[in-house]
Amino acid sequence: MNIKMKKKTFKCIVCNKKFLGYKINQSKYCSRKCYYKDRLLQSVKKYKTTKNHLKKLSKFLIIWLVGFWEGEGCLSIKRDYYNKNTNKQHYKFGFLISQKDKQFISSLQTMLGFGQSRIHTRNGFGSCYVWELGDLGEILAIVEVIHPYIKLKHRKEQINKFLNNYRVKLLTNFKQK
């Protein structure tokens, strides 16, 4: 219980402030605020690279993806952090397609050339395979591209809401850097 861990001085990679932390944590950020700020900046970079990547894909592939996403996919927004006192909150995002067929998911990832694939197991439901984007910048980039091809009304509403809420948030940061 009384193992003493040596505290070390770290420099925050966002604000350059020096702070004491445990080496074991490999601390990069002096605070949660700096952590989320950096995550947002990383997202801006990912937005740019994903947009460039998507330009290389054929329109046919994009439209094919839209059909699958409308039927078998989802856009999820979950709360990652919430502070009751300050009312500060941060979110975790996911843009995904799930299938029982592993082959389908790995082919999808190969064709698209980005995103992650993983296995998802739910008790009583067996396993399924998921192709996923987990970064706000990546998701915003793909949503902007698929947006004109979406057919289903509830999907359109969901996508419009997402664009209205997060495009400005990300792209205001974009301009600053």
Question: What is the smallest separation between the CB atom of 21 and Zn ion, expressed in angstroms?
Answer: 11
Q: Partners of 99 in the beta sheet?
A: 129
Residue 137 near residue 44, CB atoms below 8 Å: yes
30 makes contact with Zn ion (CB under 5 A): yes
Using the rule CB under 5 A, give the single segment among 10-18, 81-89, 90-98, 109-117 that binds Zn ion.
10-18
35 makes contact with Zn ion (CB under 5 A): no
41 makes contact with Zn ion (CB under 5 A): no
Under 8 Å CB-to-CB from 115, ≥6 apart: which residues? 109, 131, 132, 133, 138
φ, ψ of residue 8 in degrees (nearest 5): -130, 155
Question: What is the smallest separation between the CB atom of 41 and Zn ion, expressed in angstroms?
Answer: 13
Q: Which of 34, 54, 65, 145 binds Zn ion (CB under 5 A)?
A: 34
Q: Which of 12, 108, 136, 142 binds Zn ion (CB under 5 A)?
A: 12
Burial of 141 (0-12, 13-18, 19+ CB in 10 A): buried
List residues near Zn ion by CB under 5 A: 12, 14-15, 17, 30, 34
